[in-house]
Amino acid sequence: MRSLASRSLSRLNKWSVPLTLLGVVLLSYGIFIPWYGLFGNDLPYLYHYHLFGPQGPAGFAAVDRPYSAWVYTLTTFLFGENVWLYHLLLLLERWTASLLLFEIIDLTLPGKRWQAAGIAILFALYPGFRQQPVAVEFILHFTILNLFFLSIWWMLLAARGGRRRGWLLSGSGLLALSLFSIEYFAGLELLRPLLLWFALEKVIPDRKVRLKQTLICWTPALVALGVFVFWRVLIFKFPTYQPVILDHLGRDPLAAIPGFVKQVASDLVTVLPLAWYSTLKPVVGGLYRWMAFILAAVVFLWVSGWLVFSSRVEPAPKLAGTYASPGWGVRALLLGAAALILGGAPFWVTGIQIRLEFPWDRPTLPFMLGSSLVIIGLVDILRWRPLQQAVIALLAGLAVYSHAQNAVVYHNEWEKFRQFFWQLTWRAPGLQNGTLVLFDSIPLDRYADTDLTTALNWVYAPDLHERQLRYKFFDLSIRLGEEYVGLPGLTEGLRVEHHHRSLEFVGSTSQMLVVDFTPPACLRILAKDTIGTGNITEKLESVLPLSKPDLMDTHPGQAARPPEAFGREPAHEWCYYYQKAELARQQADWKEVIRLATIVETMGYAPVSTIEWLPFIEGFVRLGDWQKAGEISQLAAAKAKPDVCTFWARYFMDPSRTDADKQAIAKIQKDAGCRP
């Protein structure tokens, strides 16, 4: 009976590792998938599919990663424009990568199964990388990471011998060629001999024989690495980021070396202690923070319970200070330190900055392995099992706390993105071809203007299937300087050309439209004579004379509408009726403006920015309802008095105003507190 019970517990313990990893991944990332959409480069990748089908993303990737196209060709062929499927795939890849890592550690450093699982847990939950919501883009990274781990796993299995040794080594070498798809994990390839050396330690005690077997098992992957380096350095070279460290060393090695060492040390502090320390910082408040805390508590209890169960199935050594595998913690630390240095090498050579803020947390991906190994290595040295387990569970809980808050940040960003484009289409049902839309410092932090450009064309030219774009976004914070290609000047008739990877845009400074978006206020289309531009940026103000609202087509054959990939249309609240009122105002449809004002009043909607009352005020004026115009003016003047006064001053000076009109206006000005 004991033997049967022991086998049952052992079998349960075997399945408990993948189930525990799946559970923490689901709680950390999976439950938030309904909140997510498309962020950053997700948009260009999926838009290229929309333009040209599964082969489309190859054009976007060809500039710097020509052999990554197969990943997007396959995934877009399977998933199309169903955004949630990409999130599910990335979630699955996160889980399988952690599971493969567990198997690798269990082969390399045997004897401490629950510590190996602890490495996999912290790897899966690493808090330095926070772009899990950017699913389409990072499917590439996690696909190659999985192939890299699978290659290592097969290599380690081959090192143990057996009939499949040749097949496993051949497969390991072939999978190592995945480096051609993305270079992020190229440095970690050099970790293989150390993994083999530790994995063969018990099997082959003789160091000379072990060294020979290590080299034999490493050879296929080493050949693949050599071919990749030859291609990357001498053939494909460096189309984007350059090996700046070589240039610095060539010019002034005495100055470059201390600076390089300082940068390495600073980045290691960033990816290890600072990444985990950042989990303590609250990002959101209120109910969302409580939600994150509850999830963290659930994961803490879950991981604690699993660790206790697993350690009982795997009894602790009876003699204090002994190890199931002597020096396990030290070996984990050595592997971790090597993984950190090797993982960062590609970024240090090219001078890519490594930070914990978007978008520069991307380079932390290769550091996930080293960080997890170092932490569990230190935990193992603590020796007292309850403390070891408490530290692992606490770190897992803190990571989930951080990721849950990060999910809220991305959710809010997606909602702002959706509001931006829905409000734009409510206000401008059509745009003339060649329109260049300008903005400055809009609060869409997970999108560059090139990302938003693809969205703009997807919305306003859904049937476009060519590389010549019809519309373009320019972010004035970078397009009015000399660092990036942008506006050639601020005069009429200048040719504007902008090419981003495989897409091209040609326009003119005579076809520009200026927008401002500062939520919770509504999106506004601005021009030189627009009232209420006192709070806009200097760059935005400088281009107002060139803004042409008549570029908006108010009666298109088919009104623009965001695609299904952007989610359902938001509820029709204040901003919807404001945009429709501005559209009706542009069409001089004053009855429609009044109809919308009646709905707003009935529903009890009111603006955050009281300047948004102006189209309704004008509607009542145009139809001669001075009393209602005065009542709304008093509401608006409570927070936007200068703008309301400017509005009425213009009306008073209009030569078409009768004496009766001027008397009504004077009374409204007085009631609103305006100087006559």
pLDDT in tens, 98-114: 999 999 999 999 988 88
pLDDT in tens, 526-576: 999 898 888 889 999 999 999 999 999 999 989 999 999 999 999 999 999
Q: Which residues pair with 475 in a beta bridge?
A: 439
Q: Are strands 436-439 and 472-475 parallel, antiparallel or unpaired?
A: parallel
Quick one: pLDDT band at residue 321, thresholds 50, 70, 90?
very low
Q: Quick check: bond before 359 cis, omega within 30?
A: yes
Determine which helix (DSSP H) or strand (DSSP E) holds 230, and give its type and residue range.
Answer: helix 207-230
- The pTM score is 0.93
CA 222 to chain centre: 33
Asked if pLDDT for residue 295 goes beyond 50, the answer is yes
Question: 513 to each of 297, 534, 540, 552, 576, how far by Cα in Å?
Answer: 50, 18, 11, 9, 20
Question: How many other CB atoms sit within 10 Å of the CB of residue 492?
Answer: 12
Mean pLDDT, the chain, integer: 91
Quick one: pLDDT band at residue 674, thresholds 50, 70, 90?
confident
Q: What residues contact residue 497 under an 8 Å CB cut-off, 6+ apart?
A: 485, 504, 505, 506
pLDDT in tens, 149-165: 999 999 999 998 888 99
Quick one: pLDDT band at residue 485, thresholds 50, 70, 90?
confident
Name the residue with higher pLDDT: 655 or 278.
Answer: 278
On the 0-12 / 13-18 / 19+ scale of CB atoms within 10 A, 675 is: exposed
Asked if pLDDT for residue 3 goes beyond 90, the answer is no
Distance CA 450, CA 441 (A): 14
Asked if pLDDT for residue 4 goes beyond 60, the answer is no
Distance CA 338, CA 660 (A): 85
pLDDT in tens, 64-88: 889 999 999 999 999 999 999 999 9
Write down the pLDDT at residue 22.
96
Quick one: pLDDT band at residue 322, thresholds 50, 70, 90?
very low
Q: pLDDT over 70 for what percent of the chain?
A: 95
DSSP 263-294: HHHHHHHIIIIIHHHGGGS--S-HHHHHHHHH
Write down the pLDDT at residue 471.
97
Write down the pLDDT at residue 325.
45
Question: 213 and 159 in contact (C-beta within 8 Å)?
Answer: yes
Q: Which of 484, 480, 533, 487 is nearest to 510 (CA)?
A: 487
First to last CA, the chain: 99
Quick one: pLDDT band at residue 315, thresholds 50, 70, 90?
low
Phi, psi values for residue 337, rounded to 5°: -60, -45
Question: How many other CB atoms sit within 10 Å of the CB of residue 35?
Answer: 15
Distance CA 115, CA 107 (A): 13
Query: What is the token pair recorded at 568?
Result: 């359902």
Question: 113 and 316 in contact (C-beta within 8 Å)?
Answer: no
pLDDT in tens, 391-427: 999 999 999 999 999 999 999 999 999 999 999 999 9
Write down the pLDDT at residue 318.
43
Distance CA 191, CA 221 (A): 11
Q: Which residues pair with 538 in a beta bridge?
A: none
Range from 16-20, 40-44, 129-133, 231-235 carrying the lowest mean pLDDT? 231-235
What is the total residue count of the chain?
676
Quick one: pLDDT band at residue 1, thresholds 50, 70, 90?
very low
Write down the pLDDT at residue 92.
98
Mean pLDDT of 323-338: 82
Phi, psi values for residue 567, rounded to 5°: 90, 175
Range from 160-169, 216-225, 322-331 carrying the lowest mean pLDDT? 322-331
Q: Which of 9-18, 126-135, 479-488 has the highest mean pLDDT?
A: 126-135
Quick one: pLDDT band at residue 648, thresholds 50, 70, 90?
confident
Angle, helix 113-124 to helix 2-28, in steps of 10 degrees? 10
Asked if pLDDT for residue 197 goes beyond 70, the answer is yes
pLDDT in tens, 121-139: 999 999 999 999 999 999 9
Q: What residues contact residue 312 under an 8 Å CB cut-off, 6+ apart?
A: none
